[in-house]
């Protein structure tokens, strides 16, 4: 690929930058380059190797540095910021342990295709490879979990590398990019010029889909009897939810939204059949399983969706559209592979289907809808109360959804509460549910909610966290309180590592090895903990207090609020497809399967 000119008119910057040169240190060049690519917020913690960069950062009028309490928090905050803004999130750390503390968040961003740039200080270049103090080969460590990474030892390379990192993070399939800069490169002087010329040979993501494939897909759509749109996180990342809706309404095809796509198609839409997968609802799982044509858009046939791959959707032809050619036919063979940006793909599909309709070819999905509506009505999501005065966790989520509404951004941790947040909150807007899907990273919620709130200060941001997850990253409450980031956190406190306990209930004969967090002893007491961090702490122990507690939390907008919702420990996430089994064996409760044959 010829070297591309980096244009300020790209997504990376708002104004056209005139070429300019100036002598400065590598550190100053780093800060200047970050300003030029449009960075306004950086989450990080300083230390020896990155210290030279923190000095000019102190003077930047354009960049707000947010001092977090743990680098993992910086990484997830960058992810939350990226998801709320559509821009690149930025985190910064020193060498060695600072950099390795970012690793979990970088892996998380890689799995969920979140555009972040991580900037790390490295020991001075003559020391690299000597086991110098705080040396870690972070480029080596993050090689398999970054879209691309760089080690910079020449100060002259800093501006170009930053421009390249932002370009790579945001274009094509988004993802994390790491820039590791040796301390001596930050300290040395160089000649800064902007804009730089990108040197990314071979990097040219295909965004325009092939018209022959599009025509073929449209033909299959009108011929199919049981088609389904299987929508993944890529559709929102391509900002294609409007196009998706047009395609869905034009064709009349049912839509399933994966965990990463919740909100991309409104839950209230009659064509929405729900979330597929391990904890998806029966209609959505059946829509894929019984389908004769799956149109997969920006999604990757993840094992949590397909269940046992060999028995997944056995009668379906597959149209698979993705910006990343490596995803296509990775898990399931695609009959019609389409490489391209989902917005362009869906836009072109609309045109091609309209052409089919104009020629008098339309799909008839009446029987299919009868079947799916049967599943929808018979197997609507529900839950049991325990018949005592305890609170069902699902009830808390239901009430949150009702009282807070679809305009808020909900950010979940990982576990049962995450699945209930996906199932029982109604999402109507793309991007309104942020969570850790591919990696399943406990500790994601608090810092990601902080980043989301900083990216979208007008939005109400609710973190839905587990009592286990919350204890992994709640130190960022200090950051939120001090930086004035009034997020709200609903801790769904079941006193257990609930999702693991659920598997122990089902598959390990109720032998609860190391999942009891001993909630009765209140160590820690989440209300006191919140107060210690300068937040408001509330507790809700009875179902009749849920509404009033949520309303109270909604009235507090100047400081972060933590609500300790004490819920029953034995609540389970249903439906469930046990790991490694077929989607056909979905259970709606323990030992209870849908009665397929009766409806068919």
Ligand X SMILES: Cc1ncc(C[n+]2csc(CCOP(=O)(O)OP(=O)(O)O)c2C)c(N)n1
Catalytic residues: 71, 133-134, 183, 499
Identify the helix (H) or strand (E) that includes residue 480: helix 476-483
Binding residue for ligand X, selected from 72, 83, 142, 494, defined by CB under 6 A: 494
Extended beta strands in 210-309, E state: 227-231, 255-257, 272-274, 293-297
Q: How many residues sit close enough to ligand X to count as binding (CB under 6 A)?
A: 19
Binding mask 349-388 for ligand X (x = CB under 6 A): ----------------------------------------
Name which of 188, 190, 180, 43 is nearest 123 in CA terms.
180
Q: How far apart are the first and last CA of the chain?
A: 54
Give whichever of 241 and 494 is closer to Mg ion, judged by the CB atom: 494
Residue 506 sits at the vertex; the CA angle it makes with 500 and 512, to the nearest 5 degrees, is 50
Q: Which of 406, 459, 465, 455 is nearest to 435 (CA)?
A: 465
Nearer to Mg ion by Cβ, of 141 and 497: the residue is 497
CA distance 374 to 353: 27
Q: How far is the CB of 467 from ligand X (least distance, A)?
A: 4
Minimum CB separation of residue 571 from ligand X in Å reads 9
Burial class (CB in 10 A: 0-12, 13-18, 19+), 293: buried
User: Binding residues for Mg ion, per CB under 5 A?
Assistant: 466-468, 494, 496, 498
DSSP per position, 300-344: ---HHHHBSGGGSSTT-EEEEEES-GGGTTTSS--SEEEES-HHH
Please state the closest distance from residue 569 (CB atom) to Mg ion, in A: 8
> What is the radius of gyration, based on Cα positions, of the chain?
25
120: which strand partners?
A: 93, 180
Nearest of 59, 87, 94, 93 to residue 73 by alpha carbon: 93
Residue 440 interacting entry, from ligand X, Mg ion, none, C-beta within 5 to 8 Å by type: ligand X
Q: Which of 200, 250, 500, 554 binds ligand X (CB under 6 A)?
A: 500
221: helix, strand or coil? helix
Give least dist CB 71 to ligand X, A.
15
Tokens of 496: 């257990």
Query: What character string, x for contact with ligand X (CB under 6 A) and - otherwise, covers 452-491?
Result: --------------xxxx----------------------
**Residue (221 or 260) nearer to ligand X, CB:** 260
Residues 381-400 contacting ligand X, CB under 6 A: none
Q: Which of 417, 453, 488, 539 binds ligand X (CB under 6 A)?
A: 417
For 523, phi then psi, to 5°, come to -120, 105
- By Cβ distance, which residue is nearest to ligand X? 466
Q: Is residue 496 close enough to count as binding ligand X by CB under 6 A?
A: yes
Dist. CA 109–CA 89, nearest whole Å: 10
Asked if 442 is part of the footprint of ligand X (rule: CB under 6 A), the reply reads yes
Between vectors from CA 167 to CA 163 and to CA 170, what angle results, nearest 5°? 140
Stretch that binds ligand X, among 24-32, 203-211, 437-445, 451-459 (CB under 6 A): 437-445
300 binds, among Mg ion, ligand X, none (CB under 5 to 8 A by kind): none
Contact between 441 and ligand X by CB under 6 A: the answer reads yes
Shortest spacing between CB 105 and ligand X, in angstroms: 11
Cα 326 to Cα 99, 173, 283, 554, 591: the distances in Å are 28, 11, 29, 44, 38
Q: Does 257 bind ligand X (CB under 6 A)?
A: no
Site membership for ligand X, residue 563 (CB under 6 A): no
Q: Which of Mg ion, ligand X, none binds 252 (CB below 5-8 Å, type-dependent)?
A: none
Which residues sit opposite 22 in a β-bridge?
A: 192
Give the contact letters, 288-327, x = binds to ligand X (CB under 6 A), - = no: ----------------------------------------
Residues that bind ligand X (CB under 6 A): 413-417, 440-442, 466-469, 492, 494, 496-500
């Amino acid at each position: 690929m010829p070297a591309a000119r980096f244009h300020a008119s790209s997504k990376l910057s708002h104004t056209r930058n005139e070429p300019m040169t100036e002598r400065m240190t590598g550190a100053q060049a780093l800060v200047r380059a970050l300003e030029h690519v449009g960075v306004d917020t950086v989450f990080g913690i300083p230390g020896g190797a990155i210290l030279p960069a923190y000095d000019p950062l102190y003077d930047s009028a354009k960049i707000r540095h947010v001092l977090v309490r743990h680098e993992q928090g910086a990484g997830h905050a960058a992810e939350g910021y990226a998801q709320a803004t559509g821009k690149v999130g930025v985190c910064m750390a020193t060498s060695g342990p600072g950099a390795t503390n970012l690793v979990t968040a970088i892996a998380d961003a890689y799995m969920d295709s979140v555009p972040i740039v991580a900037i790390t200080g490295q020991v001075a270049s003559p020391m690299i490879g000597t086991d110098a103090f705080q040396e870690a080969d972070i480029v080596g460590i993050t090689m398999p979990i970054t879209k691309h990474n760089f080690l910079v030892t020449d100060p002259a390379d800093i501006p170009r590398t930053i421009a390249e990192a932002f370009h790579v993070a945001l274009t094509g399939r988004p993802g994390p990019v790491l820039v590791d800069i040796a301390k001596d490169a930050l300290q040395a002087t160089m000649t800064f010029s902007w804009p730089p010329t990108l040197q990314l040979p071979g990097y040219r993501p295909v965004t325009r889909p092939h018209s022959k494939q599009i025509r073929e897909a449209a033909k299959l759509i009108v011929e199919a009897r049981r088609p389904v749109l299987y929508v993944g996180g890529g559709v929102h990342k391509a900002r294609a939810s409007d196009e998706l809706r047009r395609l869905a309404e034009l064709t009349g095809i049912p839509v399933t939204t994966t965990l990463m796509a919740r909100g991309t198609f409104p839950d209230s839409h009659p064509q929405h059949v729900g979330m597929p997968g391990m904890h998806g609802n029966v209609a959505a799982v059946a829509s894929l399983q019984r389908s004769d044509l799956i149109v997969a858009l920006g999604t990757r046939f993840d094992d949590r969706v397909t269940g046992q791959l060999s028995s997944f959707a056995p009668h379906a032809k597959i149209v698979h559209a993705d910006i990343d050619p490596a995803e296509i036919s990775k898990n399931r063979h695609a009959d019609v592979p389409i490489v391209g940006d989902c917005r362009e793909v869906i836009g072109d599909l609309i045109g091609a289907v309209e052409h089919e309709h104009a020629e008098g070819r339309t799909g008839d999905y009446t029987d299919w809808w009868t079947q799916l509506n049967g599943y929808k009505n018979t197997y609507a999501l529900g839950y049991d109360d325990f018949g005592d005065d305890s609170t069902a966790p699902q009830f808390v989520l239901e009430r949150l959804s009702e009282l807070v509404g679809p305009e808020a951004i909900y950010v979940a941790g990982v576990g049962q509460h995450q699945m209930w947040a996906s199932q029982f909150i109604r999402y109507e807007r793309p991007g309104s549910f942020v969570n850790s899907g591919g990696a399943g990273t406990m500790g994601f919620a608090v810092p990601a909610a902080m980043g989301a709130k900083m990216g979208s200060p007008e939005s109400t941001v609710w973190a839905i966290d587990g009592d286990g997850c919350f204890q992994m990253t709640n130190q960022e409450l200090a950051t939120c309180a001090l930086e004035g980031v009034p997020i709200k956190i609903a801790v769904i406190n079941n006193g257990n590592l609930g999702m693991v306990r659920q598997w122990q209930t089902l598959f390990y004969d109720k032998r609860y090895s190391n999942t009891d967090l001993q909630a009765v002893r209140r160590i820690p007491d989440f209300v006191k903990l919140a107060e210690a961090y300068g937040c408001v702490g509330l507790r809700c122990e009875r179902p009749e207090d849920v509404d009033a507690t949520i309303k109270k939390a909604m009235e507090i907008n100047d400081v972060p609020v933590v609500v300790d919702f004490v819920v029953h420990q034995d609540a389970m996430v249903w439906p469930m497809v046990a790991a490694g089994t077929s989607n056909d064996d979905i259970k709606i409760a323990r030992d209870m399967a849908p009665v397929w044959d009766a409806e068919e």
